[in-house]
Amino acid sequence: MQFTPYSGGRNRNIADLFRNTFTDSEGVEEGNLIHDLARALLETTPPDDLRVYIAEEAGFLCGCVVFTRLRFDDDPRRAFILSPMAVATVHQRKGVGQSLLQNALEDLRKEGVDVIVTYGDPKYYRQVGFHPVTVETVPAPLPLSMPGGWIAQSLTDAPLTRLNGPSVCVPALNRPDVW
């Protein structure tokens, strides 16, 4: 299994991975929603605000994780939000997602990113260093439908402290239907 930064040219394959994976786990409506989100993120987000990592084996796209910049108006730290992430159904429960995340987070740490935030299953993401946070500690760009899924981690040696907001996400993620 290879874990690498995505360099372009396979946006359709990546969007299809998200559709198929989320359709399998959450249904057609969710699959289409996340497909459209992934496609919009890949096609409209400026390169400086986008980091994408893939897992592949023998040319088969097994997983993908997308990070986009999350700006805090009154805070100098560099933050990104992880959303979305998918591992092809046939490759789930084999450690692909955890390895993909570990490689991506290490690259982001080396790049000088200070904080990573996501909105997902705390049990899953705890395995790679995420912890629950409140919107008082890490202001969300939009209201959260499930505040217990708001999680973050510091990629520096310093503990995660309050980020001074408000926060602003990239336009493609600025959609209430995905929050």
Answer CATH for 2-178 from 3.40.50.150, 3.90.1150.10, 3.40.50.970, 3.40.630.30: 3.40.630.30
Q: Which two tokens stand for residue 5?
A: 């930064």
Instruction: Evaluate if pTM is beyond 0.85.
Output: yes
Model confidence pLDDT, tens digit, residues 17-29:
999 999 999 999 9
CA distance 151 to 140: 11
Instruction: For the chain, give every domain's residue range.
Output: 2-178
Model confidence pLDDT, tens digit, residues 122-142:
999 999 999 999 999 999 999
Identity at 174, one-letter amino acid code = N
Place of tokens 């981690």: 153
CA distance 50 to 45: 6
Model confidence pLDDT, tens digit, residues 55-75:
999 989 999 999 999 999 899
Check if the beta carbon of residue 72 is closer than 8 Å to that of residue 81: no
Buried residues in 110-123 as b, exposed as e (16+ CB within 10 A): eeebbbbbbbbeee
| Sequence-ordered list of residues with C-beta below 8 angstroms from that of 161, at least 6 positions apart, any chain | 137
Structural element, H or E, at residue 5: strand 2-5
Q: How confident is the model at residue 165 (pLDDT cuts 50, 70, 90)?
A: confident
